[in-house]
Homo-oligomer: A and B are copies of this chain.
Amino acid sequence: MKIAIYGYGNLGRGVECAARQNPDVELVGVFTRRPPETVQTLTGAPVYAAGELAGFKEQIDVLVLCGGSATDLPAMTPALAADFNVIDSFDTHARIPDHFAAVDAAARQSGHIALISAGWDPGMFSLNRLYAGAVLPEGQDYTFWGRGVSQGHSDAIRRIPGVADARQYTVPVEEALAAVRAGQTPQLTTRQKHRRECYVVAEAGADRAAIETAIKTMPNYFADYDTTVTFITAEEMKRDHSELPHGGFVIHTGKTGLHGQHTHTIEYRLTLDSNPEFTAGAIVAFARAIHRMHGRGVTGCQTVFDVAPKDLSPLTPEELRAKLL
């Protein structure tokens, strides 16, 4: 399978590394909207200008779109589905139905296949919510995120006057996790589920108290959470907070039995050293799947829910049944 990367940030670099871990995957190259000569790839993969993409239609089985969900992907995925099989990691949950509709129309029109929202949430967490609810229909699921870096929240802090740099960690509240695991199906407020840890480098002479107040009272981002603010030096930021760890939990509890007398807990937990590299791993597996599905005549927009698990693996169905079932 031949893939190419469109957009070369953290996620694009993750896909470049993931391609090397899958012997059946060949990376044709990286396409960028920056001047290609300014981009140096990690593995020496060739870099092309985005404008050259049209010349590669016959060489790319699946084009991996590594743009952002806010502004890039809503236009990029439908547009490129006109000429390529495409996959993205669109992660704005509330806008998934609209994005699906736009991509589906474009891909059906062109006879291509597309898969949106690959990754871990949406992605692996979504799959676990679906499987758990199907097996235990009288139940409830809870999703917790963290401990991990939220890039959107980190950016919000950086926009406060006097802030030179910032890193924000989302942390699940242990008491809430314990109550859910115990099958208590609690009603949890935003504040009861997660707390937010902020590490901030202040500019020289900045009013630290004002920065702390600005963070803690910021609507939507921090006001509804128990938030801690810790000021650190630029050196500490670089030393202790230069990675992008993340993860979280999907926990589903449900009842069975004639009188609902038996309780079951399904817990799916991810602990990730690198959020973009794990997301890239999921993307490459689902790219393999849609390449196979397109070979069987499937077109239009798909999600992780539409993919039979066997299509994700390089192993044959016989090997899967003998080794993993």
Contacts from A to B (Cβ < 8 Å): 14, 17-18, 21-22, 42-43, 93, 96-97, 100, 117, 122, 124, 126-127, 129-131, 133-138, 181, 254, 256-258, 261-274, 277-278, 280-282, 285, 288, 303-310, 312-314, 317-318, 320-322, 324-325
Docked Cα-Cα span, A250 to B310, in Å, equals: 18
Residues of B within 8 A of A117 (CB): 325
CB-based contact A21/B281 at 8 Å: no
Contact A325 B126 (CB under 8 A): yes
In the bound complex, what is the Cα–Cα distance between A129 and B309 (angstroms)? Answer: 11
A257 touches B282 (CB 8 A): no
Q: B305 to A130, Cβ gap below 8 A?
A: no
CA distance A138 to B324 in the complex (A): 16
Q: Do A325 and B262 touch across chains, with their CB atoms under 8 A apart?
A: no
Decide: A129 near B257, CB < 8 A? Known: A134-B312, A264-B272: no
Verify B18–A256 contact, CB threshold 8 A.
yes
A100 to B317, CA, bound (A): 11
- Given A22-B137, A270-B266, A318-B97, the answer on whether A324 and B256 have CB atoms closer than 8 Å is no
| Of the residues B181, B305, B321, contact of A305 by C-beta under 8 Å | B321
B262-A273 in contact (CB<8A): yes
Residue of B nearest to A256 (CB): B277
A96 with B321, Cβ < 8 A, contacts A134-B312, A135-B278, A310-B305 known: yes
| From B263, B271, B313, contact of A130 by CB (8 A) | B313
A97 to chain B, nearest CB (A): 5
Number of copies: 2
Q: Determine if B310 and A308 form an interchain contact, defined as CB atoms under 8 angstroms apart.
A: no
- Seed contacts A96-B322, A130-B320; 14 additional CB < 8 Å A-B pairs: A18-B256, A97-B321, A122-B325, A130-B309, A134-B309, A135-B312, A137-B314, A264-B281, A266-B268, A267-B270, A268-B268, A304-B325, A305-B317, A305-B325
Instruction: Report the minimal beta-carbon distance from A220 to chain B, rounded to whole angstroms.
Output: 21
Which residues from chain B contact A261 at a C-beta distance below 8 Å? 273
List chain B residues, Cβ under 8 A from A134.
Answer: 285, 288, 309, 312-314
A-B complex: 7 closest residue pairs judged by Cβ atoms: A262-B273, A134-B312, A256-B277, A134-B285, A262-B274, A305-B310, A265-B271
Contacts of A272 in B (CB 8 A): 262, 264-265
Contact A257–B285 (Cβ < 8 Å)? no
Shortest CB–CB separation between residue A30 and chain B, in angstroms? 14
Cross-interface CB contact of A308 among B281, B282, B306, cutoff 8 Å: B306
Complex: A325 Cα to B100 Cα, angstroms: 11
Residues of B within 8 A of A313 (CB): 130, 133-134
Inside 8 A of A280's CB, which chain B residues have their CB? Answer: 256
Assembled-state Cα–Cα distance A307/B130 (Å): 13
Which among B281, B303, B324 is the interface contact of A135 at CB below 8 angstroms? Answer: B281
